[in-house]
């Protein structure tokens, strides 16, 4: 049986206190973006997130972490959108620093109870799908070279709001 070689571009080993420790080989600027991002919310809040004053202080916008001014297209995606007013209408449209850019806005929401509301909203494309119904590989890219993609594997469970029938 032949042993599979691991891709050296995805993993490095560092000697710490006499032991080899596996470390991700993410470039420094990407690691800095992740380290400076707000903390992951592991449980769905009982009150809207933005109402909790401590959270407002922790909001960090992508434009404050990385230069995206060279991008030709700006897209805002609300995954698990629920109602228009829960995020797009109450927060993104009013507070997100758009820097005079026009954003394409997409709402991903499988619950049909919210679909009618989006039909009446101009400038928002409704994608009537569930988010994260299975474990898949997602690609994210913030680089001047679109051929260089950063692969992130989803391992956890999302904040699923749609109950099984």
For 49-79, the pLDDT digits (tens) are 555 566 667 777 777 777 888 888 889 999 8
**Alpha carbon distance 66, 71 (integer Å):** 12
Q: What is the rounded distance in angstroms from the CA atom of residue 69 to the CA atom of residue 97?
A: 13
Residue 44: inside a domain: yes
pTM of the model: 0.52
Cα 70 → chain centroid = 20
Say which DSSP state 7 is in: P
Does residue 61 lie within any of the structural domains? yes
The number of folded domains in the chain is 1
Structural domain includes residue 30: no
Res 155: pLDDT: 42
* Domain membership of residue 91 as a residue range: 38-153
Q: Is residue 28 part of a domain?
A: no
Classify residue 99: in a domain, yes or no.
Answer: yes
| Angle, CA 78 vertex, CA 125 and CA 153 arms, to 5° | 120
Q: Does an H or E element contain 32, and which?
A: helix 28-36
End-to-end CA distance of the chain: 46
- Assess if residue 95 is contained within a domain: yes
């Amino acid at each position: 049986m032949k042993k599979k070689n691991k891709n050296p571009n995805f993993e490095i080993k560092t000697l710490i206190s006499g032991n080899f420790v596996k470390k991700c080989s993410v470039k420094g600027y990407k690691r800095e973006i992740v380290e400076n991002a707000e903390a992951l919310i592991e449980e769905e809040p009982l009150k809207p997130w933005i109402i909790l004053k401590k959270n407002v202080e922790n909001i960090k916008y992508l434009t404050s972490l990385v230069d995206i001014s060279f991008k030709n297209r700006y897209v805002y995606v609300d995954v698990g959108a629920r109602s228009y007013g829960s995020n797009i209408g109450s927060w993104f449209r009013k507070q997100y620093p758009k820097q005079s850019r026009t954003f394409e806005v997409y709402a991903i929401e499988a619950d049909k109870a919210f679909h009618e509301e989006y039909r009446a909203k101009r400038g928002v494309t409704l994608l009537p799908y569930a988010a994260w119904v299975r474990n898949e590989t997602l690609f994210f890219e913030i680089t001047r070279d679109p051929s260089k993609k950063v692969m992130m594997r989803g391992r956890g469970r999302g904040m699923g709001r749609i109950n099984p029938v």
